Amino acid sequence: MTAILRTEKLCKTFSNDGMQQHVIKNLDLSIDSGDFTVIMGASGSGKSTLLYALSGMDKPSMGKVFFGEEDISSYSNDQLAMFRRRNCGFVFQSIYLLENMNVIDNILTGALVLQKNTPALISRVKSLLGHVGIGEELWKKYPNQLSGGECQRVGIVRAVVNEPRVLFADEPTGALDSSSGQAVLDVFTSLHKDGQSIVMVTHDIKTALRGNRVIYLRDGSVVGEYKMPLYGTDDVTSRRDSLQAFLNEMGW
Amino acid sequence: MVKMDKITRLSLAKIKRAKKESFLLCILVMICTILLSSSVSSLVGIGKMMPSITEETGCYRNFVIMGQDIYSDECLGYLSENSSVSSYDHFSVIMDPLLKSKDGDMTVSLCFLRSSDEERSEIFEPEVVEGASSLEHPIYLDSSCKRSMGLSLGDEVTYTSGKREYSFTVAGFFDQGLWPLGSKAVVSDEDYSYLEQHMDRYEIVGMDFAPGVDANKFFKSYEEYCKGTTLNDVSSEYMSYAYKDLIDTYTFNMSLLSGIVACMAGVTILAILVMIRYRIVGDIREQIVSIGVLEALGYKSAEISLSYVVEYLIVAGVGAVLGIVPGVMFSSFLMTNAATTAHYGGDIKAPLLPAFLSVLGILLFVLLISHTRARAVRKYPPVKAFRKGIETHHFKKTILPLEKSRSNIHISLALKGFFENAKQNIGLGVCIAAVTLTVVISFMMANTLGNKDNLLNNICGHELADIRIETTGLISTEDFANELLAMPEVSKVLMTSDSEYIKIADADIPMLLDIYDDFSSTTNIIVSEGRLPEHDNEIAFTVQGKFIQNMEVGDTVMVEYGKIRKEYVVTGFVNSVVNASAGYMTSSGFRRLDPLYTPDILDIYLDPSVDASSFASVLESRYGKDIADISSGEVTGDTMEERIRSAADIKMAEAMVENGVSYMEYSIEVDGQIISGSTNTMRIDKLTFQRADYAEIMDQFGSVIGTVTTSLTIVAAVVVMIILSILMENTIRKQYRELGIMKGLGYTSRELMFQMSFRIVPVAVIAALVGTFLSFVSMGLIEMVLGKLSVSVPAVAVVVICVLLFCFFCAYTGARKIKKISVYELMTE
């Protein structure tokens, strides 16, 4: 497997009223293509900060982030935006759909920034929506007319419509009830099986089970890592127990 | 009190939160205050100024000007017997229309009087220089000359006309009242007699009427009476000036300028309306949850809406306070200019009350608008506010679905934004239309009237020969013209006259005729509609005349010349910025009115390589200096014969100037030698450099137009900049979340800035087209005053495109705050 994401001495520091807070400290990390990497850690450990630094959503304070062979750490904001549209898809806890647009327009807003409006694109959008369980009757609906789970699934379709090299997800089931969260995770699993590289931040063990690699962060540094077989290829109970054991060892 | 304090704190917090927008709105209110207070104050002030000047100076209010060959004591006798006239007097003045100040090289509108005449015309209590009575050539000028010409007591002033020079010492300044012939200059009796030889003399009758008398009606009957007292033709020599018309003439330019400034104030008021409305609506949407919290904390919705009213009153109040002083100063400037135009040099103060009332009007307007819009807070009780009202719920039909869009995504999203903000677009559109109207009209005026060459060559309305000669009539003008034409330096000679006045029957406006044998040989008289006269029953007028007299090409008009009336067909209208009331007729056409007409003026056009001044010397050496110069000259010469010839020439010239002698010859025997000569070599009555003289007038006129149009364009540009800056700032604040999401999806700041600014393009295009259409419609009003404006559709199109690009540029730079939106902060908030 080749590394799709790599960091070298990555640091991220925030200043607040003159106080410096070092959230990520000299972090060296490599994420392989095709992996479903889950980043876990206690609150304030730097999970989301790492995710946003890896995805070009935020710039590191020091160190480098390589996306393939491309060093994105020195990019300007507009260059990062161009990079994100070509390579990344995002799913957020707060979903962030555009409230003044219906389902189809929300997805096309993400798609048309990179692709031309062709019948093939429209049919792909519709097929993806069908794939995540959003029926035709919901396509013209606005976000405030959908449930949280439906919104998140629309958000996933928007994230993958441009076939990103890496799909980043930050607590994608955090705001959802159990059954909606499960449906969303099924979509992630399905995408991973199709070869999609995924980097997900979560503090939920059920969500983490869907990944095949778990990285544990503490105080901005990677303190442990755990690898699992592909989800669905082993027994869920034993998978859960062994992940729980790893997390206990990490001080979870 | 506590409640008000609470509300004020809320308002101040809002101002602090939107510092930049509040600052820009404050600037807009300041500009509006300057424009409105100055225009209202000056319009009111100018209206009151002239009656006040009339009272202060004790001058007459109405005047009739007549040529000296027409005036007789009988003209005064009529007035003494008429109960309509409460007081009257008669004064003689002399003047030269081409008189220039030597130092400033500016044309001056100056008429000379004796002190005995001036003392009867108004209160004459000049501020005098020490030792004024011992000055050799004293001159008392109206006090506006201090401002307009920068003169002080004791200064030496020299006036020139053609090649003649008149030097004086400023002995005093006096406040001049209402007067129909420009600026007064009081000179000694000796100097007056000298000047009289070179200048035209007019008789002026000043009069005041009893209450209720219609001045123009009286002047009509008075004209008929005066005509009846002489066998001479009086139509060309009789001009009347009623009080109201005179005031209008003097205050027209500044009133027009004040009116234009008031229109600009209207545009800024509109901009304020749009901005406040849009900002409050946007602010309520953005702060809806905070509003809910405040309501939950016990604030009444009326108190919250009052906080908006107070916020805008504070911002507008600051802007108004900042604007009132420059507004009053600008008003004083306009009024002082109006007073200077009327040749009044006393102290002028702008009335403060209209300025304060206009400020109060602006604040009331802001109060009304903000109160009306802020009432929307009532629609959101706490729970509804927490749920962000119904504003975020979209159950309406999707506008421009992206699925069906085939254009660029950025344009598609911009158009979606455009249609989703229809109400905001109306206000913005009205502002852009008003700004386009201002800019296009300014451009048309600057393009036509701000260009000296264009003014001179195309729209001056008169022929501009290099040299104009008024002949003494010793030989036929035609023979003289042929003789001049034979000279290699001369390219063209036209024969004309410049002292024939006509009237259109029943219209009491004298029109100075431009008469030429064949208008096809003229260069600078250019029609904007129809054609110039070719036959003896044809006449053309100025474009302004067309509007004033409501004429069209093909109309038949009855032309009155003295006691003769003839019908003429109107063939066309000429652009004339010099004289709005001019007429154009062929020589044969004029002979229908005056069968004895012979031209007495020669317009000489020189080869481009020939210097007019040098050629004038050639003419003088060949045909003599102008006779007034000779008559007032001194005997010169080294030999007896030269001195005799010089003395004889002076005597002959005096006889021609003073007694109208048309031909003389002399023969003197001295020691057996016969010295003889005649007036044959005195063919030039007056020589002027027509083109150069008009070039200066046009230059001054062009500069004024240039200043006015540039100022208008700058104000329009500032207004557009402020409107769009506030609009963008507010939109970004309102759509902060959406823009952050878009950034997260990979849209660059530049793309989002483009989308945001492109949203205004449809409304800007429509508004610009409407503004352009309105400018073409309103052009007629300007043409009534200034003559036909040249309109090049491609050039106007370029101007409109520039306006659009400027709007887009302002919107684009106004949207640069998008760059500061941190997608990371948005995602982690």
DSSP one-letter string for A103-130: HHHHHHHHHTTTS---HHHHHHHHHHHH
When divided into structural domains, chain B yields a total of 3
Together in a domain, B670 and B771: no
Query: Is A175 a domain residue?
Result: yes
Together in a domain, B631 and B676: yes
Query: Is A11 a domain residue?
Result: no
Query: Is B206 a domain residue?
Result: yes
Establish if B19 touches chain A: CB-CB under 8 angstroms.
Answer: no
Full residue range of the structural domain in which residue A207 is found: 34-57+77-250
B823 to chain A, closest Cα gap in Å: 7
pLDDT of residue B773: 92
Best of A76, A92, A109 to substitute, by most chain B Cβ atoms within 10 angstroms, is A109
Residues 6+ apart with CB under 8 A from B318: B26, B29
Q: Are B584 and B519 in contact (CB under 8 A)?
A: yes
- Mark which residues 805-824 of B lie under 8 Å from A by CB: 819, 823-824
Query: Is B758 a domain residue?
Result: yes
Whether residue B397 has pLDDT greater than 90: no
Establish if A168 touches chain B: CB-CB under 8 angstroms.
Answer: no
User: What kind and span of H or E run contains B527?
Assistant: strand B527-530
Query: Is B356 a domain residue?
Result: no
Q: Which of A82, A90, A112 sits opposite B748 (nearest CB)?
A: A82
Together in a domain, B642 and B745: no
* pLDDT range class, residue B786, cuts 50, 70, 90: low
When divided into structural domains, chain A yields a total of 1
Final residue before a domain boundary, out of B225, B246, B267: B246
Together in a domain, B674 and B702: no
Residues 6+ apart with CB under 8 A from A207: A38, A172, A173, A181, A185, A200
Whether residue A10 has pLDDT greater than 60: yes
Query: Is A181 a domain residue?
Result: yes
Establish if A218 touches chain B: CB-CB under 8 angstroms.
Answer: no
What are the phi and psi torsion angles at A59 (to 5°)? -95, 140
CB contact under 8 A, A113 and B409: yes
Q: Report the C-alpha gap between A34 and A128 in whole angstroms.
A: 20
Together in a domain, B660 and B699: no
Query: Is A72 a domain residue?
Result: no
Query: Is A163 a domain residue?
Result: yes
Contacts B753 to A, Cβ<8 Å: none
Query: Is B675 a domain residue?
Result: yes
Query: Is A22 a domain residue?
Result: no
Whether residue B360 has pLDDT greater than 90: yes
- Alpha carbon B578 to its chain's center: 12
By DSSP bridging, strand B556-561 and strand B665-670 are: unpaired
* Domain CATH for A233: 3.40.50.300
Angle, to 10 degrees, between the axis of helix B352-374 and the axis of helix B243-286?
30
Nearest to B701 by CA among B350, B344, B461: B461
Task: Give the residue carrying structure tokens 């869009």.
Answer: B405
Whether residue B512 has pLDDT greater than 90: no
Winning range, highest mean pLDDT, from B70-84, B201-215, B447-461, B722-736: B201-215
Query: Is B541 a domain residue?
Result: no
Whether residue B391 has pLDDT greater than 60: no
Query: Is A16 a domain residue?
Result: no
Together in a domain, B74 and B153: yes
Q: Report the C-alpha gap between B400 and B759 in whole angstroms.
A: 13
Query: Is B491 a domain residue?
Result: no
Establish if B411 touches chain A: CB-CB under 8 angstroms.
Answer: no
Contacts B825 to A, Cβ<8 Å: none
pLDDT of residue B492: 93
Whether residue A95 has pLDDT greater than 90: no
Tell me the mean pLDDT in the region B270-280: 82
Give the tens place of pLDDT for each residue, B288-318.
777 777 777 777 888 888 888 899 999 999 9
* CA-based radius of gyration for chain A: 18
Final residue before a domain boundary, out of B246, B269, B289: B246
Query: Is B134 a domain residue?
Result: yes
Together in a domain, B777 and B630: no
B268 to chain A, closest Cα gap in Å: 32
* pLDDT range class, residue B236, cuts 50, 70, 90: low
Together in a domain, B117 and B188: yes
Whether residue B178 has pLDDT greater than 80: yes
More confident residue, B435 or B577: B435
Establish if B747 touches chain A: CB-CB under 8 angstroms.
Answer: yes
Q: Are B497 and B597 in contact (CB under 8 A)?
A: yes
Final residue before a domain boundary, out of B246, B274, B305: B246
Whether residue B498 has pLDDT greater than 90: no
pLDDT of residue B556: 93
Nearest to B324 by CA among B289, B361, B299, B296: B361
What is the ipTM score, two decimals? 0.85
Establish if A76 touches chain B: CB-CB under 8 angstroms.
Answer: no
DSSP assignment of A35-96? -EEEEEESTTSSHHHHHHHHTTSS--SEEEEEETTEE-TT--HHHHHHHHHHHEEEEETT--
Full residue range of the structural domain in which residue B674 is found: 625-682
Together in a domain, B662 and B761: no
